Structures are given as structure tokens and as C-alpha cells.
Structure 1
Amino acid sequence: MRCPVHPPSLDISRRTLLRQAAWAGMATQLPRWAWAQAAVRHDPFGLGVASGDPVHDGVVLWTRVLPPADLAGAHAPWAGTLTVRWELADDAQFRHIVQQGTAMALPELGHSVHVEVAGLRPDRWYHYRFMLGDATSPVGRTRTAPAPDALPGRLRLVFASCQRWEHGHYAAWRHACADQPDLVLFLGDYIYEYPSPQDATGLARVHALRLPRNLQDYRDRYALHKSDPALQAAHACAPWAVTWDDHEVQNDYAAGQGRGERAEWLPLRSAAWQAFYEHMPLRASTLAGSGFHQLQIHRRLHWGRLARLHMLDTRQYRDLQACRTPGKGATGAVRPDACPEILDSHRSFLGWEQEQWLHAGLAADARNQATRWSVLAQQTLFSPRRYPSGLQSTDSWDGYPAARDRLLQALAQHPPRNTVLLGGDIHQNYVCNVMAPHGPHAHGAPRILASEFCGTSISSRAGTTQEKVDAIARHNPHVLLARCEERGYGLCDITPTRWTTTLRALRDPLDAGSAAYTLARFVVEDGRPGPQPA
């Protein structure tokens, strides 16, 4: 699926692009001339709509305007900046419009639109839509967070990750939408960069896209994934908060290191990051002042005094995987005695600056015990997986044990009222007690510091067997549940006194109309760390 657009001018400066993105995202007042109803002969909103990063008085509204399929006969305006109208209303029929305005869809940003609406009422649902000429987008539903000093009675959130196109349909999103979440957390691997295998046996569907080599290739990949109606519906049903993992760029990349020569790799990474920004409901401040050489993905979201979400980035700043040759693929797993680098205390999974940012945020949560739940939304399994074979993964937290211990020490020294970690990446469901580190002066039984729920994938296969996973669970007493055979998502109901996680699974990932069922349910009580079966 190619959605051709004119690529950004190669001489546009990163500073100019940042300035344009901030300007384009302003919720401007609607001028009289914008009501002109030019005829549009195709659907410019074929990728749907989305909203994200809600605060107590605002939210980001997103769409991307698609040009006609054949630009050869298109009018000149499709090659330049487009003026898109938007409306935000109390009701789905738009009888009571709260705000309206225009936004610029810039060709330099793939004609994506990021409207940062402010001045809204807290803890309130709204409806929104976009217009271009006489074309109108689907209607999206979004909401604001509660006021900073409010203690709402509930937050319902969905967390999910890993949606490889070929491995399954997106029926999980249909069920997630039916669960009516207040917020969706997407924890990485929104797209997969791989071309479809030549042998399609056992696959749900295939595509004809090549391994990405440039910005347009990444845009095509997002357009493919966003063409799925179940995914579009999930974006339209509630605001999202998104982060990334590796497949948005390249499998197992680490900061500035990927496969191939660095001079070729860094422009590819910048193209992938730009496409990510163009297709996600993110604020212009995400560009961090340096365009697409760096994106500010780690951030905090507040849900009144009920929850504070620390959104983490475990890709952009990490050290190279242990014992990996620069320019080559990651080793996957090693024996620590054959790879002493894995134990190096100077290696970081988050990068030192983000580590300090997170530790300071958790210490602030500890001082402010009025915040009921501190949530670490990150990419992968945090708790250790000690394999019976003695191997140790290099691409997850297991590959950076000193960095994990530093975070555990921060939690132990300044414990928030309740801490819950959410993750994805491994295409398996894990539920774990997060244990205090075993220091030289530790006495007595190990102490539980926090609770962890690592969710399976929307569609991506696990690549292992339940027999092997059971063996791992027996080898790791802090693991309460470990399953690899299901695809689905996690549903969390959060109240001031209890956190309930329901693991939802599909009957058949290869069936677009698949039913879903509850695989397991766990609760965490206020002031009592550690999940308990419900």
C-alpha cells in the first residue's frame, strides 16, 4: 500500500522543521475563508483519526491527510501545505461544538496534523473530527484527565504492544475498544520493518512492502498498519499514550547502533523516527529541539492523584548490547561467564539522564503519598528470567542487570505508595513479584517492592513453546504466571484501593472476527505490593 506524498525538501533545517511543527499544531481560531467547500474526489482521511497524551485541560488530536492515489493528475495544492479544519464537541452529532479551528498539514511532515487543544474541562469526554473541503473524517472520542488535585474513583486503561501484520489480524483491538478504556498505552512495535516471507503458510495475511530504506518506505509501512479497521476503531475510541521499541526502526537496534555502517544507519533511524512522529498523536515538543536526530519520548502523564504514569524509552539512549559487534546483529543470549561485559556497572538501559529523571520522579512520588499508583510504562519484561540453560538475554533488562539493580535500589530507598510496571515486547504474558535486590547486607526473606504485568502481543508470534516457558517459571519463583500461546492485551481497572489486571486473549489470532476470553485476573491491593490471583 503506497500512499505517495512529496518527500521533505532535503535542505530544510531541523530547527525550521521544529518551528513549523509547533506552528502547525497550534489550535488556531477558524477564519471565515476556511469554510469554503472545495470538492474532494477521494478519502483524504483513509488512515483514520487519533488522540493522545491527555492532560487535565487538553489533548492532542491527530490525522494524516492522504493525497489522491495518482498524483499525476492532481492539482498543485496537494503538493503543498493544506488547511484542515477541526471541531471538538460535547456530543457525537456536533450539536454543541466546544472548540473549532484550523491546522496546517505540512508536506515536510507527510501532511500529518497534530492539534494541541487546550482550555478544556477536566475529566470530561469529547468528540472530534477533521474536514478538508467537503470531506469529513470519522468521528473520534477522546477525554481529558482529572484535575491535578482530584482523586477519581476509577481509571480503566488498556496496555498492548507488538502487532506484526502477517502474524495475525487485529481482532484484539476490536475487543479492547469494546472494553471502553479511558486510556490506551501502546508500549512498542507498532509496525514491523520486515518484508513478508515468501512462504505464507500459517500467516493471516501478507503485504508487498520492501525492507524500509527511506522515509517514504516507513510512511508506507504505517499506512499499511493503519489501514486495518479494528486498529482505526481503537484509536478513535479513546486517547492513547505511545512509546516505541525496536521494530519501528530495525530489530534490536540500540541508540545510534544498528546493522550496517553508521553513516547509512543514522539517516535511516532519523527517517523512521520522523515517520513515527508523523503517525502518532504526539505533541510538537516531542521533537526536543533537534528534529529527528532525537525525540523526547519519555514523559509523565497524571491522572489526578490516582495515578502518575512514567512513560519510558528503552531504545534511544541504551548502551550497545553486551558482546555485540558494532554494525552487526545482536547476540540474543550469552553466558555471563563468557561475556563479562554484561555485568559492567557503567552500562545503562535507559541512558544516565533518563535514569536520573526516573529516579527523581519516583522519589517525588514517594514524598507525595497522595499519589496512589506510580506506573512505569516501558517496553519489555523487567523482572529477571533465569534460564535453566544458564543463558542470559542481552536485549532486555536481563542484558543490563546493573541498571535494573539501580532502579530497584531507587524503589527500595524511596518507595512510592504503590508501584506497578507494565511491559510488552516478548509476545508472552508474565505476571511477577518485583523483588528487592540481593545486596551483600540483605537479611531475611526477599522483599516484594512492586508488581509487574508484561503483556503478550496483539498479533506477533512468541517463537517458543509453553513447555520451555514452564521450565523458566519453575526456575524463577518470583514469576506467578508465564504464558506464550496467547495473543491479546491487558486491561487494568484502577481505583484508589485496588488495581485489577485482566489478561485478555484471542481464540484465534488468524481470524479477524475472533472471540476473546479472560486468560487470568490479578489484583494488587493499596499498600500491599505483589499481584494476587483474583
Structure 2
Amino acid sequence: MTDSQRRRLLQALGIGTAGVVLGSALLAPSAFAQTAPRNLLTRPVFDTDPFQLGVASGEPEADGFVIWTRLAPKPLEQGGGMVMRPMPVTWELAEDNGFRKVIKQGSTLARPELAHSVHVEIEGLPPARPYWYRFTVGEAISPVGRGATLPLASAQVDRVRFAVAGCQHYEEGHYTAWRRIAEEPLDFVFHYGDYIYEGPDTGPGERKMGGRPFTNLRRHVGGEIYSLDDYRRRHAQYRSDRDLQAAHASAPWFVSFDDHEIDNNWASEIDQDGTPPELFMLRRAVGMQAYYEHMPLRLRSMPHNGRMQMHHRAGWGDLLQAHFLDSRQYRSDQVNGDRDGPQNAAAADAERSMLGAQQEEWLYDGLQPDHHRWHVLAHQVGLANLAMKPRDGGDGVIHSMDQWSGYLASRRRLLGHIQQAGMTNVVSVCGDAHRHYTSDLLQDHEDSGVICSEFLATSITSGADGMGEDDDFTRTTRSLNPHLKAMIDKRGYVLCDVTRDQWHADLKILDRVMVPDEKIKTHASFVIERGQPGLQAA
């Protein structure tokens, strides 16, 4: 930053002028506009690049989007290696990636209370076009990221392309799938959850994965995470990956948390270990704070009293309406000891909910026949009611109690609502199960006909290289579920290409994630014709 740039910045921030409010033009929209902090560090100096966690954009609307970064010159040290003082960060937005035409610029504060992360909500932009952004602090300049505004609600839109991905266990493979996503021409990315895993470093030796010997490719830093600094450091370790950073910089993201951002299979105020709820809520609160600090989220999602506002909608003109759901924060506790089991009376209890009554009502209010050609449910866990054989070879069939199959009343209400509303243009996208599963969705009594279809995306790395299709679990699961059209234990993502009359999806896979830079393949492709529910092989 030149001396003249610094003088203009300090003047805009009111530095040295008691009682001057930070300029709304520079900080807007911000809930933190106030007199310049007494402890403001006006001339930060770094001997190491402070932008080691990259940049990101997210939650686009027709007139703007969020841009994000976090200052962390030493990401795995406490505080990211930062001086514990607020400091000014400038940003620029341009119409080209060379920044020949800068159309907006401003400054915000990176504060230690939020781990020196910044979330700038840019407004007042024309709709339906890309933009490029970058940040500056001191003499350091960030990488360039690409954002985009949505089309107006009234616009005719002919095509939207997006990727569905998540479950990125750091220890279990390279993030090559994120690099391949970065290479795709996409309108947005939907991350369905499990951005981090909360477990401890399991050491350098061999362990078991799916009954097979496995040695971690990479290792977590530290033990199981509980404190705010633990969660911040784990996010920073994941965010340090260059392939993941490339995907964040390539397109705007919509994000959801699932369970591992806090603790495996948590549900509302209950964890899997029997911790008293009032104690688990302390852990949940710091996990949510660290999640907010590392995601391109709007201020509306900033945690308040240990809760986050995560469900919302976004639309791409008249083509696509997306309903982003939160299936962790309001759900009832899992039944049957949180283990796969039979769909008994407890699993079907009408008093239990996956979304909570308020979110469920919100969803139904917006999930209605309207001018949109398609509606998508973007959420965390499988809606398909998949039957499985017990892994110990026992008799009968079992179902996941953590997915919608363990919340039968909620599942019946949702599919019943879609059917009763006469909607034949709904598609579900989700993840969590570490395999691709592509299914037509029926009511559990199987006499409803196909109501809609689902693409459950496999993991980025969780499960390592995988078994492909040549395993007993795949064979028995496919035999038990006639409406399951594809299933494979490989890593990758789902690529959706939505046009006015057709939804096309490719199940993308990598042969290996334990070696770097593998080529991406298409395992299978499917088409849904608008107005004709049901998957067809493409």
C-alpha cells in the first residue's frame, strides 16, 4: 500500500479524529460500523503472506454477494500468527480479472474477535454477471477470486450449472476433486457439509477403514477439537489446501454444515456421547463461531446465542429455485441408539422431526407450484429410503437412523406435500454417505409412484480410494432397492446441468485420491425430463 493510499484509507476510517464514525460507503453493509477502535493497528506489517487461507465468495443475490478472507500468516499457530488487534483490510471489485475496470472498492476491519476474518456484503451491482475481487492488508495482496450476481427473479434463464460436493476428511486423500471443480465452468457450488472432521490425529501407523488396513495420507494437528482455538486451527488446516482454495476462488458457494463441523451425528442440543446438553451447547457454540469465521456467509448467519440462521432460498430467474435446508440444528435425536436398525415405531413417530416445525412450515410455504421451471432441495443427508443388509450378516433389513429414513414422519410429510401440490419438477441433492447414490423417491409404502429424484453426491476424500462397485454392500443394497439407479464407492462430486426442460447430472469420480492430480471420470449420467418425474440413463 502506498503512502497516498494509506492516507486516504486512514482519512476514510476517521483515524485520529475522535468520534468519527467509520464511513458507511466503505464498510457497508456492516453491523460493526462505529468510531475507530482505540487499539486499531493502522500499519500492519507481515513477514509472511497473511492470505494463506485464500479467498471466497458466497450467497449471491441479484444485486451482490459476500466476499471473504481471513488473515492468518501462520495458520496453525494460536491466533493464526496474528497480532491481537483490529486492522483495516481494503477490497476491490472489478469487471475483469486483470482489474483494469474497478467498479467498487472499500475497507473493512479484520477483528481478533472473529479470528481476523472479514465478510464484505457487496450491494448495488447489476444482475446476472461475473465479477472479480481481491483484498489488501499492509503491503500484501490476496489471490483473485470470482463472484457473480444472480439473474432477476423475472428473467428468463436457459441454463444453470453447479456442483454438489462435501465430506472432505483431510487425512484420507488429496483434494483433487476440488481442483477439478475449479476447472468446471460453474454458476455455483453447493457444499452439503462435513467441511472439517473433528476427530484427533490418529498417528502415523496403520488403522482400519472398512475392515481394510489403511494409513493416513495426511494427519490432523492435535486431538479431538473442543475449544474455539481448536476449531479455528482445524478449519485453517483444511483451508490451507490449495485445491480447495482454487474451488473457492472459482465460483460463488452456498454452504451448509452437517455433523462433523461440530461432532459426529449431533442432533439439536444432543451429542453422541451422552454429554449434558448444557455442556454440549458450549461446544456447539464455538464450533458454529469457527464455521462462520471460515465461510462466505452473510451477517444474517452470524451465530447468536449458540444458533445460526442457515436455511434460506435463492433463485436463478424463472429457471431454478433452490431451498437450502438445515437438517442438524432442529432435528429430533436419532432413535435406536443412533445405529442403523429397523424402521420401528420410534423411527415413524409423528412427533419427531428432521427440520423442526418452523423450518418445515417455511419450506412448504416456498415449495409450491410457481413460475420456476425447477425446484431443488439442497440439504445434508439422504432422502432416499434405502434398505440395507446388516453388516454382520444377520437376517432382515436395516435403515440409517441418521438420514431421513430414520425420520419417517418428516419424510412422509415432505414427499406428500410435493405430491399433493402437484409438483413434478422437484430434485433433491445431498451427500454424507461417502458413495454416489442416485435414486427415484417414493413414499415408504411404495405405492405412491415416483414423486421426485435424488442425487446423493459421494465424498471429496472421506473413505479414501474406495472399492468401486465390486463389494458385497453395493451388491446387496442394489438388490434391495429397485429405485436405486446407481451406486459406487469412489470419491468425486455431482455435476448438474439444468436447462428449461431437462435436468442432466453426471456422477463424477476419481479412481484414486491417495495419489495427486488424478483425472476425473464420469461414472454414470442421468436425465430428468421436466414434468415427468423419474431418472433416465443419459
Which TM-score applies when normalising by structure 2?
0.86
Shift of 1:392: 2.4
Partner of 1:135: 140
Shift of 1:342: 1.6
Matched, 1:316 2:333: no
Amino acid of the residue matched to residue 453 of structure 1?
F
Conservation of the 8 A alpha-carbon contact between 1:90 and 1:96? yes
Partner of 1:145: 150
Deviations 1:371-416 (A, max 9, x none): 0110000111101012243222211111101110010110011133
Shift of 1:293: 1.2
For residue 248 of structure 2, the aligned residue among 228, 232, 235 is 235
Count of aligned positions: 488
Shift of 1:71: 9.0
Unaligned runs of 5+ in 1: 1-21, 325-329, 440-444
Shift of 1:292: 4.7
Poorly superposed stretches of 4+, deviation over 6 Å? 69-72, 462-465
Once the two structures are superposed, the pairs formed by residues 243-258 of structure 1 within 5 Å of their partners are 243-258=256-271
Provide the identity percentage.
40
Conservation of the 8 A alpha-carbon contact between 1:156 and 1:492? yes
Matched, 1:162 2:164: no
Partner of 1:62: 68
In 1: Cα distance, 2:135 partner to 2:414 partner: 43
Partner of 1:399: 406
SS class of match (1:333) = coil
Shift of 1:131: 0.3
Conservation of the 8 A alpha-carbon contact between 2:29 and 2:122? no
Deviations 1:491-520 (A, max 9, x none): 111111111101110121111211111111
* Residues 507/123 of structure 1: CA separation in 2 closer, same or farther (3 Å cut): same
In 2: Cα distance, 1:346 partner to 1:418 partner: 29
Matched, 1:495 2:499: yes
In 2: Cα distance, 1:243 partner to 1:71 partner: 27
Conservation of the 8 A alpha-carbon contact between 1:490 and 1:502? yes
Partner of 1:195: 200
In 2: Cα distance, 1:291 partner to 1:108 partner: 14
Amino acid of the residue matched to residue 504 of structure 2?
T
Matched, 1:294 2:301: no
Matched, 1:109 2:114: yes
Conservation of the 8 A alpha-carbon contact between 1:488 and 1:505? yes
Partner of 1:11: none
Amino acid of the residue matched to residue 212 of structure 1?
I
Amino acid of the residue matched to residue 526 of structure 1?
R
In 1: Cα distance, 2:419 partner to 2:189 partner: 29
Deviations 1:333-382 (A, max 9, x none): 12345xx322211100111111111111112xx1x1x2011000011110
Matched, 1:371 2:367: no
Matched, 1:274 2:289: yes
Matched, 1:353 2:355: no
Amino acid of the residue matched to residue 497 of structure 1?
D
Partner of 1:526: 530
SS class of match (2:236) = helix
Amino acid of the residue matched to residue 240 of structure 2?
S
Shift of 1:472: 1.3
Partner of 1:509: 513
In 2: Cα distance, 1:446 partner to 1:354 partner: 25
In 1: Cα distance, 2:160 partner to 2:342 partner: 42
Amino acid of the residue matched to residue 534 of structure 2?
G
In 1: Cα distance, 2:75 partner to 2:397 partner: 54
In 2: Cα distance, 1:25 partner to 1:528 partner: 45
In 2: Cα distance, 1:371 partner to 1:449 partner: 18
SS class of match (1:513) = coil
SS class of match (2:372) = coil
In 2: Cα distance, 1:319 partner to 1:70 partner: 35
Conservation of the 8 A alpha-carbon contact between 2:57 and 2:68? yes
Partner of 2:420: 413
In 1: Cα distance, 2:323 partner to 2:187 partner: 17
Partner of 1:10: none
For residue 454 of structure 1, the aligned residue among 444, 453, 456 is 456
* Residues 70/265 of structure 1: CA separation in 2 closer, same or farther (3 Å cut): closer
In 1: Cα distance, 2:434 partner to 2:77 partner: 40
Conservation of the 8 A alpha-carbon contact between 1:412 and 1:436? no
In 1: Cα distance, 2:529 partner to 2:432 partner: 27
Partner of 1:14: none
In 1: Cα distance, 2:77 partner to 2:173 partner: 32
Conservation of the 8 A alpha-carbon contact between 1:84 and 1:131? yes
Conservation of the 8 A alpha-carbon contact between 1:286 and 1:295? yes
Greater relative contact order, per chain length (Cα 8 Å cut-off, separation 6+): 1
Once the two structures are superposed, the pairs formed by residues 86-125 of structure 1 within 5 Å of their partners are 86-125=91-130
* Residues 210/176 of structure 1: CA separation in 2 closer, same or farther (3 Å cut): same
Conservation of the 8 A alpha-carbon contact between 1:24 and 1:114? no
Partner of 2:52: 46
Which TM-score applies when normalising by structure 1?
0.87
